[in-house]
Structure 1
Amino acid sequence: MDLTKYSIDDVKSLPNTPGIYFYHDLDGVVIYIGKAKRLKARVSQYFQNKPLTRRLRNLVSQIVVIKIMLTETESDALVLENRMIKKHKPKYNVLLKDDKTYPYICLSAHPFPRVVITRQRKSKQGQYFGPYTNGYHVRRMVEMLQKLFRLRTCTDSYFANRSRPCLLGQIDRCSAPCVRRIDKADYARTVKQAVALLSGDAQSVMTDFVEHMHKHSDAAEYEKAAEYRDLIRLTQSFLQDSLPAARSQSLDVVCGVLAANGLIIQVTLYRNSAVESRKDYHFPEALGFIDDLITQFMLQFYQHQRHHGDLPETVLICGHEQLVAEDITSVLEPLGVKIRCKLKPTTADERQYLTAAQINLECAVTRYAEQARYYSPAFQQLASAFQDSDWQYIDCVDISHLQGKHTTAACVRFSVSGAEKSSFRSYNLDTGNDDYASMRAFIQKRFKAKSSSLVAPNCLLIDGGRGQISTIYRELQTMDCPDFHLLAICKAPGRRSGQERYYALTLEHGIQQLQFSDVVLRMLENIRDHAHRFAITKQRQKHRKASLSTTLDQIDGLGPKRIKNLLHYFGGMAAIKKATIKQLHQVPGISYDMAKRIYEFLHA
Structure 2
Amino acid sequence: MAASEKLKEKIAHLPHKPGIYKFFDEKGIIYVGKAIDIRKRVTSYFNRSAQHNKKTLKLVSKIQDIEFTIVDTEADAFLLENNLIKQYQPKYNILLKDGKTYPYIAILNERFPRVMYTRNKINDGSRYFGPYPSVTTMHIVLDLIRTLYPLRTCTYNLSPENIAAGKFKVCLEYHIGNCKGPCENLVDETTYNQNIAQIKSILSGNLSVAKNYFKEKMSAAAEEFQFELAHQYKQKLDMLDDFQAKSTVVSNSLTNIDVFTITSNEKCAFINYLKVMNGSIILTQSLELEKKLDEPDEEILASVIIQLRHEYESTSREVITNLELRLPLDNISITYPQIGDKRKLLNLSLKNAMYLRKEREGRQEKNKDLGEQREVRVLETMKKDLRLTELPRHIECFDNSNFQGDNPVASMVCFRNGKPSKKDYRHYNIKTVVGPDDFASMYEVVTRRYRRLLDENQSLPQLIIIDGGKGQLGMAVKALKDLNIYGQIAIVGIAKRLEEIFYPGDSLPLYIDKKSESLMLIQRLRNEAHRFAITFHRSKRDAGTLQTELTTVKGIGPATAEALLTKFKSVKKLRQLSQEELVQEVGARKAAILYAHLHAPA
Which structure has the larger Rg?
2
Q: TM-score, normalised by structure 2?
A: 0.47
Q: TM-score, normalised by structure 1?
A: 0.47
